[in-house]
A and B are shown apart, each in its own frame.
Chain A
Amino acid sequence: MDVLDIIKPENRVFCKSKLMTDTALSYCPGCGHGTAHNLAMEVIDEMGIVEDTIGVAPVGCSVLAYDFMNIDMTQAAHGRAPAVATAIARTWPDKYVFTYQGDGDLAAIGSAETLHTCNRGENIVIIFVNNGIYGMTGGQMAPTTIPGMRTSTSPYGREIETMGSPLKMTELIANLPGVYYVTRQAVHTHKHARKAKKAIKKAFENTRLKKGLSFVEIVSNCNSGWKMNPIESNEWMVENMFPYFPLGDIKVNGKLK
C-alpha cells in the first residue's frame, strides 16, 4: 500500500477528531499528549455530548489544552483541577466534567485535591498523563520519576534514599471506596491507543450512569525532557516505565482487580 492509498478516507484508521481545533499543537513532535487529546475528543464526539461537556485544563505542558480541544474549558491553578471539576460537577450534576492533568500537577502539588476528590467519589473523569518528568519547566524531577532516572533536578539519577520512591498515585486512589474505575493505559502504538480510547469511553459512560469517579492514567513519553528521539523515548518507556507502572485495569465497576 503506498501513501496515496493510505490517505484514502476508507483506509483511514486514525484521523484528527472533529473536536480538535486547527491550532498547531504546542507539544514537541513525538509527544503522546496530542494522541491523548485526540482520543478524548473522539470519545466526546462519538458520544454526542459536546454540549454537556466541560473540561478542566491543568498547569504544565497541557496548560493550553483549551487551544486544541474545541469544547468549553476552564484552566485551573496548578494541581487544583480536581477541586475545580468537583464544583462544576456538583453545580451541574447532569454535565460531563473531566480534568486533563500531568504527573507534576496531579501527583505533586495537587496530591491533596486528587486524593480528596477521588475519596468523595465525585462524578467526574480524571485523565492523568504520566511521563515521569516536568516537561514545561524544562525537565525537572516529578513524583513519578523512576529510580535512577536523570532529570535536571536529579542530575545523577533519582536517589530513593534522599528523593523518595516514585508515587504510584493510581494504585493509591484505586483503594478509595468512592473511586469506580481505575485503569492505566498507553498511546505509543495504534493498539495501545485503541485500548486507551476504550478506557476513556468507559470512563465517560460511568459519568453518564452517575457511577462516581473514573481515573484513566496514560503512561507517556517526554522525548525532549528525557533527551531522546521519539522512537528511543517510546522504547525506553516500554523497558523502564512499564515495569514500574504496569498497564491494565486496576479497578473496574468499583471492584479491585
Chain B
Amino acid sequence: MSELKLMKGNEALAEGAIRAGVDAYFGYPITPQSEVIEYLMRERPEERTGMVVLQAESEIAAINMVYGAASTGKRAMTSSSSPGISLKLEGISYLAGAELPAVIVNVVRGGPGLGTIQPSQADYFQSVKGGGHGDYKLYVLAPASVQEMSDFVEDAFDIAFKYRAPVLILSDGLIGQMMEKVVLKDQQERRTDKEVIESCGDWATTGRTNRERNIITSLDLQSEKMEARVHRLMKKYEQMEKEDLRYEKINCDDAEYLIVAYGSSARIAQKAIELAREKGIKAGLLRPITLFPFPKQELFDLADQVKGILSVELSTGQMVEDVRLSVEHKVPVEHFGRTGGIIHTPEEILEALEQKIINNGRIRHHKTRESSIL
C-alpha cells in the first residue's frame, strides 16, 4: 500500500529501496548518509522482502560486493558520501567496463579531502566526467526532494537494467538530512531466483546450465576488442541522451533571465525566481534532473530567448562549464555558489542574478552588438 509519511531523505531512499524490490544493499557508514544503512538494519528487510543488507569493512569492499551481486543479475546498490565515493571509483569503473547494472548513491559533502560533513555539490565533475579511470560515463539522477530520494531508486534500477550500466543518484547532505512528507510507493515483489535466471540468463553468472558459460570481465587484452567494448559503451550513452534525458522547466515561458540549478540548489533557486518576479524580473529555472545526459539542446534553445544565464551550484563552478558548452556563447553564462558546506540563500542567488547577469556590462554590449547587426 502506498502511504504518506514524514521522513528524512536518507530514510526515504532506504525505504524506497526496500519497496522497489532491491535484492541487496552493501554499505559503510559515513556522514551525512549513515541513516541509509541504519534504517535498513532497523527495518529488517531480510524479513520483509528477503533483501540482503550487509555492513562492509570499507567502501571499497561494499562497491565490490555490489559488483558481485550485479554480476549474477541481482539488483544491488550501495550508498556513501564524497570521500567514500572516491574510494568506490575503482569499482564503479569496473562496473561500467564489465557492463553491470547497479545503483550507487552519493549524499555529497564538502571537499576536497576529508572536507566537511556539511552539504555540497562539488562532486559534479567526479559524477558526470567519469571519475574513475577509462572511457565511461554514468547515468546521473539528481533528486531535489525527499520524494525523489524515494522514487529515484526504482527509476535508477530501471535505467541500470535497460542499459546494463551503473547509475548514480547524486544527492547531497541537504536533501539527505532534511525531513519532508513523502508518498511511499506500493511494495514491489522481489524477483525470484528463477526470474533472475530467465531475465538475465544470457549474460549473468548464475551457474552454467545447458548453455555456453557466462563470463563477467572488463578485461580485453586485444586492443581491437577493447576498442569495440568502449564503442559499445558509447552507443549506450548516445541512446541515453536520446531516450532518457530528464529535466524540469519552471517559469521559463516568458523568462528573460534563466537560472540553471539541480538538486538542493534548484530548490533554493525556485524561491529566488519567485523573489525576482516579485521585483518584476522575469526569471525562469531550468532544473536538470539527469546531469548525464545533460539538457544541452534545451539550454541551446533557451539561449535564444533569454538575455543571460546564471548557473547556481554549491561549489565554485563545475556544472557551469556544461551550461557554457551547451549555450555556445549565445548569451553570457555566469556562476554563483557558496561552498565549503555553506548553503546559499534565495536572496543571495537573486543578488547574484542582478549583479552578475542583469547589470553586467557584457550583456548590454552583447545586446547592442546584436541590435546593430539587425
Q: State the A residues within 8 Å of B (CB).
A: 50-54, 56-57, 63-64, 66, 70-77, 80, 83-88, 90-92, 95, 112-113, 115-116
Contact = CB atoms under 8 A, between A and B. Distances in A.
Interface string B43-76: 0000000001010111011101111110110101
Contacts of B205: 54, 72-74, 88
A113 B208 CA distance: 26
B4 interface: no
B115 interface: no
21 contacts: A51-B208, A54-B206, A66-B215, A71-B207, A71-B213, A72-B205, A72-B207, A75-B215, A75-B216, A75-B217, A75-B218, A83-B64, A83-B65, A85-B68, A87-B66, A87-B74, A88-B69, A95-B207, A112-B58, A115-B57, A116-B61
Contacts of A85: 68
B207 A50 contact: yes
Contacts of A90: 24, 52, 54, 65, 69
Contact of B208 (A50, A86, A116): A50
B24 A91 contact: yes
B91 interface: yes
Contacts of B67: 74, 76-77, 80, 83-84, 87
Given A80-B60, A113-B57, A88 B215 contact: no
Given A53-B207, A77-B64, A88 B219 contact: no
B223 interface: no
B64 A113 contact: yes
Interface of B: 23-24, 26, 52, 54, 56-58, 60-62, 64-69, 71-72, 74, 76, 90-91, 94, 98, 193, 205-209, 213-219
A73 B68 contact: no
Contacts of A115: 57
A87 B26 CA distance: 9
B206 A91 contact: no
Contact of A87 (B24, B58, B206, B218): B24
B207 A83 contact: no
Contacts of B91: 77, 80
- Among A63, A64, A92, chain B packs the most CB atoms within 10 A around the CB of A92
B64 A91 contact: no
A71 B52 CA distance: 25
Contacts of A87: 24, 26, 52, 54, 64-69, 74, 76
Given A70-B213, A90-B54, A112-B61, A83 B208 contact: no
B90 A83 contact: no
A52 B193 CA distance: 12
Given A72-B213, A91-B76, A84 B65 contact: yes
B69 A91 contact: yes
Contacts of A66: 213, 215, 217
Nearest to A77: B94
Contacts of B219: 63-64, 75
Given A56-B68, A73-B205, A77-B94, A83 B218 contact: no
B247 to A, nearest CB: 34
Contacts of A54: 72, 205-207
A86 B61 CA distance: 10
Contacts of A64: 219
Nearest to B54: A90
Contacts of A72: 205-208, 213-215
Contacts of B94: 77
A91 B208 contact: no
B90 A77 contact: yes
A230 to B, nearest CB: 25
B26 A74 contact: no
B201 to A, nearest CB: 10
A90 B46 CA distance: 11
Contacts of B216: 73-75
A84 B66 CA distance: 7
Nearest to B215: A66
A75 B24 CA distance: 20
A92 B193 contact: yes
Contacts of B60: 80, 83, 112-113
A257 to B, nearest CB: 28
B215 A83 contact: no
Nearest to A113: B61
Contacts of A83: 56, 60-62, 64-65, 67-68
A80 B62 CA distance: 10
A144 to B, nearest CB: 22
A71 B91 CA distance: 23
A169 B229 CA distance: 37
A51 B69 contact: no
A91 B52 contact: yes
B207 A91 contact: no
A126 to B, nearest CB: 14
Contacts of A63: 219
Contacts of A53: 207-208
Nearest to A88: B68
A95 B219 CA distance: 25
Contacts of B23: 91
Contacts of B193: 92
A70 B211 CA distance: 11
Given A84-B64, A92-B206, 15 more contacts: A51-B209, A56-B68, A66-B215, A71-B207, A72-B206, A75-B219, A80-B60, A83-B68, A84-B67, A87-B24, A87-B26, A87-B69, A92-B193, A113-B60, A113-B61
A173 B319 CA distance: 48
